């Protein structure tokens, strides 16, 4: 009997350790995933355009197809690559993060340049030729383009997550990356599904609502969704510039060029101390994020001509096309 009790006690102890490990993985995944907020918001802001123009009944299947591609990107390609980097080439993580940060800065600046000048000169590097065809072929083409875009954003997300995981063993890193990657994918594409169907919900409420309040709410959803999409685009662009700029600045610090980062920190600290103590932390964070974003915007504007005059011709020569696909 004592042997059985001892065995049960050992099993209980193992279960507690396993539960604690699962809790640790979940906690690390949540914290690390939060660091990737800018890329995540951009992912959610970009994806709805890929279902634009299709019949309402095809919107959710297309989103599901893109979501499955995103999961494959993260778990089958990016997760193993991230673990190999972490264990065999950790020195490469910072440069890769900076490369992804530069891409975010370019994307954000290009969107602002397009809004101001109505020009897509920089974005031609990454756009896909949209040839006409039957709906099924066009759907496949759109989904493939979205999955390509997702791969770039997912690579940035997974690298950010990896860089924010505390030093741990291989399985803890793998579990954290997998859980954070899946969680982010569910959050992004679940949100996208709600966003693209919200106007349909509003239309249904407008036509079939029994109460005036219900019909009024439905009309509000139909009228408000275009404005919400514009707001989401603005927030996504700002988040890209903030995250991209902060990644570059932090990477420069790791490479021994900390001058800019130290000055931004000092200026943000000074701004934070201009307000009451209760608002000090939030004000300092906002000031730092704003300065990181301004730096990201400036860098992005520099990268636009580099993309159109250097990268586009090189990619065109490699692919045999005048403009590379996205």
pLDDT digit string, tens, across residues 106-138? 988 988 988 887 644 444 444 444 445 566 777
Based on the number of CB atoms within 10 Å of its own CB, is 165 exposed (0-12), middle (13-18) or buried (19 or more)?
buried
Domain ranges of the chain: 27-119+135-319
Q: Which residues contact 78 (CB under 8 A, 6 or more apart)?
A: 151, 154, 155, 158, 181
pLDDT at 323: 45
Task: Tell me the CA distances in angstroms from 138 to 67, 135, 304, 318, one per residue in order.
Answer: 18, 5, 29, 25
Q: How confident is the model at residue 293 (pLDDT cuts 50, 70, 90)?
A: very high
Return mean pLDDT, the chain.
75
Based on the number of CB atoms within 10 Å of its own CB, is 9 exposed (0-12), middle (13-18) or buried (19 or more)?
exposed
Task: Tell me the CA distances in angstroms from 66 to 117, 182, 218, 317, one per residue in order.
Answer: 31, 13, 28, 29
Q: At what angle do helices 277-306 and 212-254 cross, to 10 degrees?
A: 80
| Tokens 């690579």 belong to residue | 155
Main-chain phi, psi angles of 321, to 5 degrees:
-115, 155
Based on the number of CB atoms within 10 Å of its own CB, is 217 exposed (0-12), middle (13-18) or buried (19 or more)?
middle
What is the reported pTM?
0.68
pLDDT at 181: 82
| The pair of three-digit structure tokens given for residue 159, joined into one six-digit string | 């690298």
- Stretch 62-70: mean pLDDT, rounded? 86
CA 108 from centroid of its chain's CA atoms: 13
* 218-235 residue pLDDT tens: 888 888 877 887 787 788
Question: Does pLDDT of 297 surpass 80?
Answer: yes
Q: Cα dihedral sign for 7, 9, 10, 12? A: positive
Question: What CA–CA distance (Å, rounded) separates 203 from 99?
Answer: 43
Question: What CA–CA distance (Å, rounded) separates 253 from 224?
Answer: 43
Report the range out of 124-133, 190-199, 231-240, 267-276 with the highest average pLDDT: 267-276
């Amino acid at each position: 009997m004592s042997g059985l009790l001892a065995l049960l006690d050992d099993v209980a102890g193992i279960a507690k350790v396993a539960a604690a490990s699962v809790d640790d993985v979940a906690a690390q995944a949540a914290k690390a995933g939060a660091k990737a907020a800018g890329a995540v918001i951009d992912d959610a802001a970009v994806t709805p355009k890929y279902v634009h123009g299709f019949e309402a009944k095809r919107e959710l299947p297309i989103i599901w197809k893109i979501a499955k591609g995103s999961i494959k990107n993260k778990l089958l390609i990016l997760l193993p690559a991230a673990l190999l980097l972490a264990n065999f080439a950790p020195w490469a993580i910072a440069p890769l993060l900076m490369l992804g940060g530069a891409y975010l800065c370019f994307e954000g600046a290009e969107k602002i340049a397009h809004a101001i000048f109505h020009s897509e000169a920089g974005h031609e590097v990454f756009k896909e030729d949209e040839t006409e065809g039957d709906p099924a072929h066009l759907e496949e083409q759109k989904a493939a383009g979205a999955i390509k875009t997702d791969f770039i954003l997912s690579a940035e997300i997974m690298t950010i997550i990896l860089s924010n995981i505390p030093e741990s063993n291989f399985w803890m890193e793998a579990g954290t990356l997998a859980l954070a990657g899946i969680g982010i994918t569910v959050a992004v594409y679940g949100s996208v599904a709600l966003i693209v169907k919200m106007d349909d919900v509003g239309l249904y409420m407008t036509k079939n609502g029994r109460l005036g309040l219900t019909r009024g709410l439905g009309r509000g959803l139909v009228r408000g969704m275009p404005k919400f999409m514009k707001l989401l685009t603005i927030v996504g662009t700002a988040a890209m510039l903030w995250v991209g700029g902060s990644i570059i600045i932090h990477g420069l610090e790791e490479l021994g060029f900390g001058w800019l980062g130290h000055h931004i920190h000092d200026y943000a600290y000074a701004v934070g101390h201009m307000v009451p103590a209760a608002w000090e932390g939030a004000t300092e964070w906002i000031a730092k994020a704003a300065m990181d974003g301004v730096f990201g915007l400036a860098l992005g504007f520099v990268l636009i001509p580099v993309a159109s005059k250097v990268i586009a011709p090189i990619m065109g020569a490699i692919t045999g096309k005048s403009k590379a696909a996205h």
